[in-house]
C-alpha cells in the first residue's frame, strides 16, 4: 500500500516537475514589453502621476505578462508626438488627452471635453450607455489606435489672467493658451488662442508672450507655478466642464493580445477613471486653499456677459461639427448633443439641485 502510494506520488511529482520545466520558458517568452509615451512631464501632479498609475496597473492586472515602461514627454518622443508614435508603432501605447488631436480630426475633440458640455460622470455615461464608445473606436480606428478613457480632471478653470477682465471687449486680442474645442469657442470671441504645454505656458506668461491661459486646475497648476506670474484665477472653466484622459494602444498590438490580456488593459483603464477623478477633486480643493491663503491668488468669477457670450460661441462650434463634411464627425456631434440634452434636463433636478441646495446652506 505504501509502495503504491509512493509510486503514485513520485510519478505525479515527476510529471509536475516536467511540466514546470517546459512551461517556465514558455511563460517567459510570453512576456510583452511595452513602451508608454506620455504628453506630460514625469510625475506631474495629476496627469503625470495618473500615467504612471496606469502603466503599473496594466503590468499588475496582466500578471506581469505585459511590462509597461513609461517615457515622459521628451524622453522618447515629444509630448505632442505621442499620437503618431503609437499609431506608427514606435511605442505600444500613450497617455494623453483627446483635446490635443484636433489636427487629426475635430471629431476626436468631442471625446475629451466640450464647451458647456459633459461632466466627468456624464462623459463616461455617454461612452458606456449612449453609443459613444463605438464612435470613439471608429474614429481612432482610422489611425490604427484602440482608445480607452482612463481618468478625468473634473471641472477645469478658466485660467490665469495677468489683468482683470470685466467685459467681452476685454477678451478681444487677448493672447490666451487653451486647447481643444475651447480654442474655437475663444477664437470666435476674438481671442488670440495659442496651444502649448504647461511648462511653455509658464514661460510665455512670464515673458509676456501670453496675457492669460488655462491648463487644468489648482493641484496641477500650482505645481507648474502659474500663480507666480499671474494672480487672477478665473472660474468657471466653461470651456472644459471636464477633461477626460485617455490611453490609446496600437491597434495591431492590441488585436494580437489573447482575450484575457485585452481584458486586463481595458480593466486597468476603466478601473482608474474614478480614482484619478476623485484624486483631482480632493487635491484641487486643498491646493486652492493654499494658493489663496499662502500665495495671494485672487479667485474671481467670470462676468455673466462673458459666460453668455461664450455659451453662444460654444453653440456655434457644436453646430459647425453637426454640419461637418466628414460623416463620422457629424454622427459623433449628433450623438453628443442627444446625450447632453437628455442628461442635462435630468441634472436640473438631480445633481444641480443638490449642489445648489448645499451651497445655499453651507457658509464658509
pTM listed for this prediction: 0.89
How high is the pLDDT of residue 14? 39
- What the block records as the C-alpha cell of 256 is 494580437
CATH of region 159-239+296-334: 3.40.190.10
> What number is the average pLDDT over the span 143-152?
98
Calculate the alpha carbon distances from 114 to 73, 233, 261, 318, 359 in Å.
Answer: 25, 21, 32, 9, 25
Say whether the peptide bond before residue 236 is cis (omega within 30 degrees of 0): yes
> Is 150 exposed, middle or buried (CB count within 10 Å of its CB: 0-12, 13-18, 19+)?
buried
Confidence of residue 23 (pLDDT cuts 50, 70, 90): very low
Domain pair 31-152+242-281 / 159-239+296-334, same fold: yes
What pLDDT digit, counting tens, does each position of 38-68 carry?
A: 999 999 999 999 999 999 999 999 999 999 9
> What number is the average pLDDT over the span 72-84?
97
Q: Which residues are annotated as a binding site for substrate?
A: 156, 177, 214, 240
Domain boundaries, the chain: 31-152+242-281, 159-239+296-334
How high is the pLDDT of residue 362? 75
Class of domain 31-152+242-281: alpha beta
Torsion angle (degrees, nearest 10) of CA 304, 310, 316, 321: -130
Q: Which of 144 and 361 is assigned the larger pLDDT?
A: 144
Round to whole Å and give the CA distance between 168 and 190.
9
How high is the pLDDT of residue 70? 98
Mean pLDDT lowest for which of 12-26, 105-119, 145-159?
12-26
Cα angle 333-335-340, degrees, rounded to a multiple of 5: 95
CB within 8 Å of 315: residues ≥ 6 apart: 116
Calculate the alpha carbon distances from 222 to 237, 283, 285, 350 in Å.
Answer: 16, 11, 12, 32
> What number is the average pLDDT over the span 154-169?
97
Strand partners, 146: 249
Strand partners, 362: none
Q: Which residues are annotated as a binding site for Na(+)?
A: 215
Sign of CA pseudo-dihedral 177, 95, 104, 33: positive
What pLDDT digit, counting tens, does each position of 274-295 carry?
A: 999 999 999 999 999 999 999 9
Closest CA to 320 of 214, 192, 174, 188: 188
Do the Cβ atoms of 158 and 234 come closer than 8 Å?
A: yes
Give the CA diameter of the chain.
98
Round to whole Å and give the CA distance between 119 and 155.
7
Do the Cβ atoms of 163 and 211 come closer than 8 Å?
A: yes
Cα 95 → chain centroid:
8
Q: Which residues are annotated as a binding site?
A: 156, 177, 214-215, 240
Cα 343 → chain centroid:
21
Amino acid at each position: 500500500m505504501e509502495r503504491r502510494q509512493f509510486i503514485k506520488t513520485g510519478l505525479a511529482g515527476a510529471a509536475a516537475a516536467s511540466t514546470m520545466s517546459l512551461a517556465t520558458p514558455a511563460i517567459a517568452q510570453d512576456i510583452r514589453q511595452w513602451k508608454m509615451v506620455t504628453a506630460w512631464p514625469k510625475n506631474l501632479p495629476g496627469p503625470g502621476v495618473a500615467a504612471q498609475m496606469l502603466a503599473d496597473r496594466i503590468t499588475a492586472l496582466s500578471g506581469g505578462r505585459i511590462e509597461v515602461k513609461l517615457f515622459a514627454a521628451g524622453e522618447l518622443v515629444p509630448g505632442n508626438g505621442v499620437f503618431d508614435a503609437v499609431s506608427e508603432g514606435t511605442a505600444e501605447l500613450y497617455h494623453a488627452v483627446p483635446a490635443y488631436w484636433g489636427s487629426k480630426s475635430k471629431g476626436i475633440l468631442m471625446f475629451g471635453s466640450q464647451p458647456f458640455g459633459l461632466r466627468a460622470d456624464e462623459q463616461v455615461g455617454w461612452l458606456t450607455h449612449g453609443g459613444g464608445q463605438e464612435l470613439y473606436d471608429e474614429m481612432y480606428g482610422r489611425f490604427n489606435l484602440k482608445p480607452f478613457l482612463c481618468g478625468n480632471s473634473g471641472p477645469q478653470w478658466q485660467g490665469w489672467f495677468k489683468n482683470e477682465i470685466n467685459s467681452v471687449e476685454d477678451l478681444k486680442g487677448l493672447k490666451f493658451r487653451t486647447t481643444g474645442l475651447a480654442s474655437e469657442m475663444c477664437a470666435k470671441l476674438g481671442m488670440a488662442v495659442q496651444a502649448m504645454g504647461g511648462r511653455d505656458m509658464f514661460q510665455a506668461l512670464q515673458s509676456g508672450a501670453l496675457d492669460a491661459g488655462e491648463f487644468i486646475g489648482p493641484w496641477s497648476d500650482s505645481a507648474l507655478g502659474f500663480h507666480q506670474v499671474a494672480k487672477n484665477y478665473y472660474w468657471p472653466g466653461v470651456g472644459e466642464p471636464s477633461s477626460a484622459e485617455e490611453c490609446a494602444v496600437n491597434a495591431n498590438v492590441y488585436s494580437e493580445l489573447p482575450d484575457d490580456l485585452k481584458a486586463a488593459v481595458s480593466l486597468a483603464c476603466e478601473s482608474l477613471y474614478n480614482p484619478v477623478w476623485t484624486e483631482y477633486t480632493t487635491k484641487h480643493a486643498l491646493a486652492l486653499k493654499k494658493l489663496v491663503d499662502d500665495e495671494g491668488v485672487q479667485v474671481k468669477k467670470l462676468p455673466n456677459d462673458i459666460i453668455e457670450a461664450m455659451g453662444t460661441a460654444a453653440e456655434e462650434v457644436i453646430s459647425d461639427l453637426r454640419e461637418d463634411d466628414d460623416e463620422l464627425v457629424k454622427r459623433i456631434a449628433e450623438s453628443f448633443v442627444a446625450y447632453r440634452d437628455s442628461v442635462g434636463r435630468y441634472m436640473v433636478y438631480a445633481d444641480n439641485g443638490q449642489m445648489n441646495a448645499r451651497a445655499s446652506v453651507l457658509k464658509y
